[in-house]
């Protein structure tokens, strides 16, 4: 209750900042109601679309996006593809220095295996809006390139992802339709595939494959070699700058709550209820006797 009261206060502040520019955040207010379960659960917009209650209405929904055909929505994408050799070489140099390739991706693989299935693991450069300084030092050129592109990074982050030979990710939906995900192909054996909704594609080295992960998606690597990509999560291009700011506030606040960084206070709604009940009503509600005569 305290969290959602704080969300409401923060959205009011965001709205005040952007009102002068005529930018509305009504879709984010509707998102907050949906996330609380106060409105009906969203329905999918097409085959395989499975949005969660964390949903923003009215955003374009399609399983895959072509960043080259819609360059105005992804102004950073061409420069990243043109400089993909920097990322590819830096990853290869790192793998060559490792005694065993697995060690680079061992840090969170146990946790990831529970979510993504065995064979998938990640080395994270950014998570929940925070750059991992130690990991970024392992890939300084890649980090410098990414930071120079003004990518509108979203709440999930940036990571190198490895799919081991003979493995794959089972069909699942990440639910949040306001985040898109691009995979930059780094080392792609022939035969690897990714399915989103009812469409299937493969990766190309040095190119971006972009999907909406609120569609059910899965991957497969039936080859004898590992597949490597760089995964980047960012805000859906249909969001306005005000809506991005509002969502950034909500998820930053959520992270602070989950990490215990927000001091507890009694929610205003409870205080108002108590003020209206008097002492007898308060004791009755605490001990289950409020309706007894």
Could you tell me which residue, 46 or 101, shows the higher pLDDT?
46
* d(C-alpha 63, C-alpha 33), whole Å: 26
Indicate whether 175 and 250 sit together in one domain: no
- Beta strands, E only, the chain: 64-65, 120-127, 130-131, 153-163, 167-172, 179-187, 193-196, 199-201, 208-211, 217-221, 227-235
- pLDDT exceeds cutoff 90 at 27: yes
The answer to the question of residue 293 being in a domain is no
Give the range among 20-24, 75-79, 141-145, 201-205 with minimum mean pLDDT: 20-24
Which helix (H) or strand (E) covers residue 114, if one does? helix 109-116
pLDDT for residue 105: 67
66: CB partners within 8 A, 6+ apart: 210
Indicate whether 23 and 69 sit together in one domain: no
Indicate whether 194 and 99 sit together in one domain: yes
221: CB partners within 8 A, 6+ apart: 119, 163, 164, 165, 166, 167, 168, 189, 191, 192, 227
pLDDT for residue 99: 57
* d(C-alpha 82, C-alpha 94), whole Å: 21
Indicate whether 47 and 75 sit together in one domain: no
Interval 193-215 mean pLDDT? 97
Structural domain ending residue among the three candidates 183, 201, 235: 235
The answer to the question of residue 263 being in a domain is no
> Nearest Cα to 151, choosing from 97, 207, 76?
76
- 146 and 76 Cβ atoms separated by less than 8 Å: no
* d(C-alpha 65, C-alpha 120), whole Å: 23
Interval 48-68 mean pLDDT? 96
> Nearest Cα to 87, choosing from 190, 195, 161?
161
pLDDT for residue 292: 41
Indicate whether 127 and 24 sit together in one domain: no
* d(C-alpha 96, C-alpha 91), whole Å: 9
The whole-model pTM stands at 0.87
The answer to the question of residue 50 being in a domain is yes
Interval 18-26 mean pLDDT? 91
Indicate whether 122 and 180 sit together in one domain: yes
Give the range among 125-129, 192-196, 207-211, 227-231 with minimum mean pLDDT: 125-129
Indicate whether 200 and 82 sit together in one domain: yes
pLDDT for residue 24: 94
Indicate whether 222 and 250 sit together in one domain: no
Share of the chain above pLDDT 70, in %: 86
Q: What spatial distance separates the first Cα and last Cα of the chain, rounded to whole Å?
A: 30
Q: How many domains does the chain have?
A: 2
The answer to the question of residue 286 being in a domain is no
- 126 and 134 Cβ atoms separated by less than 8 Å: no
Dihedral (CA of 161, 255, 129, 4) sign? positive
262: CB partners within 8 A, 6+ apart: 2, 6, 253, 256
- pLDDT exceeds cutoff 80 at 107: no
- pLDDT exceeds cutoff 90 at 38: yes
pLDDT tens for residues 252-276?
999 999 989 988 888 887 777 666 6
Indicate whether 136 and 45 sit together in one domain: no
CATH number where 128 lies: 2.60.120.330
The answer to the question of residue 269 being in a domain is no
The answer to the question of residue 266 being in a domain is no
Indicate whether 34 and 120 sit together in one domain: no
Could you tell me which residue, 46 or 279, shows the higher pLDDT?
46
- 163 and 226 Cβ atoms separated by less than 8 Å: yes
Indicate whether 95 and 69 sit together in one domain: yes
Interval 93-104 mean pLDDT? 72
Indicate whether 94 and 129 sit together in one domain: yes
pLDDT tens for residues 217-250?
999 999 999 999 999 999 999 999 999 999 999 9
Instruction: Give the domain range for residue 43.
Output: 2-58+240-258
The answer to the question of residue 225 being in a domain is yes
Interval 202-224 mean pLDDT? 97
pLDDT tens for residues 148-169?
999 999 988 899 999 999 999 9
Give the range among 33-42, 111-120, 143-152 with minimum mean pLDDT: 111-120
Band (199; pLDDT cuts 50, 70, 90): very high
Structure tokens at 92: 């290869």
- pLDDT exceeds cutoff 60 at 279: no
What is the 8-class DSSP label of residue 204?
A: -
**3-state DSSP assignment of residue 135:** helix
- pLDDT exceeds cutoff 80 at 72: yes
Give the range among 16-20, 87-91, 116-120 with minimum mean pLDDT: 116-120
* Cα–Cα–Cα angle for 172, 176, 182, rounded to 5 degrees: 75
The answer to the question of residue 189 being in a domain is yes
Angle subtended by helix axes 241-258 and 2-19, to nearest 10: 150
């Amino acid at each position: 209750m305290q969290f959602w009261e704080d969300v409401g206060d923060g959205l009011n502040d965001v709205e005040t900042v952007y009102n002068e520019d005529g930018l509305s955040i009504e879709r984010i207010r509707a998102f907050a109601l949906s996330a609380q379960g106060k409105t009906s659960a969203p329905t999918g917009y097409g085959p395989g679309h499975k949005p969660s209650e964390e949903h923003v209405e009215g955003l374009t929904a399609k399983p895959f996006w072509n960043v080259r055909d819609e360059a105005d929505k992804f102004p950073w994408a061409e420069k990243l593809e043109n400089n993909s050799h920097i990322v590819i070489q830096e990853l290869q140099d790192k793998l060559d220095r490792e005694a065993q390739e697995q060690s680079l991706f061992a840090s969170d693989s146990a946790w990831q295996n529970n979510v993504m299935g065995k064979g998938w693991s990640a080395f994270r450069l950014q998570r929940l809006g925070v750059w991992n300084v130690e990991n970024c030092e392992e890939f300084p050129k890649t980090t410098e390139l990414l930071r120079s592109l003004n990518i509108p990074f979203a709440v999930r982050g940036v990571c190198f992802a490895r799919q081991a030979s003979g493995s794959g990710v089972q069909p699942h939906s990440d639910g949040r339709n306001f985040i898109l995900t691009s995979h930059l192909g780094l080392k792609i054996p022939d035969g690897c595939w990714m399915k989103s909704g009812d469409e299937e594609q493969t990766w190309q080295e040095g190119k971006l494959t972009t999907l909406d992960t609120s569609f059910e998606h899965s991957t497969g690597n039936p080859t004898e070699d590992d597949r490597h990509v760089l995964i980047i999560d960012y805000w859906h291009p249909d969001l306005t700058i005000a809506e991005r700011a509002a969502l950034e506030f909500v998820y930053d606040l959520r992270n602070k709550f989950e990490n215990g960084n927000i001091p507890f206070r009694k929610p205003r709604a409870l205080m108002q209820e108590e003020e209206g009940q008097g002492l007898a009503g308060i004791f009755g509600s605490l001990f289950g006797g409020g309706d007894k005569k």
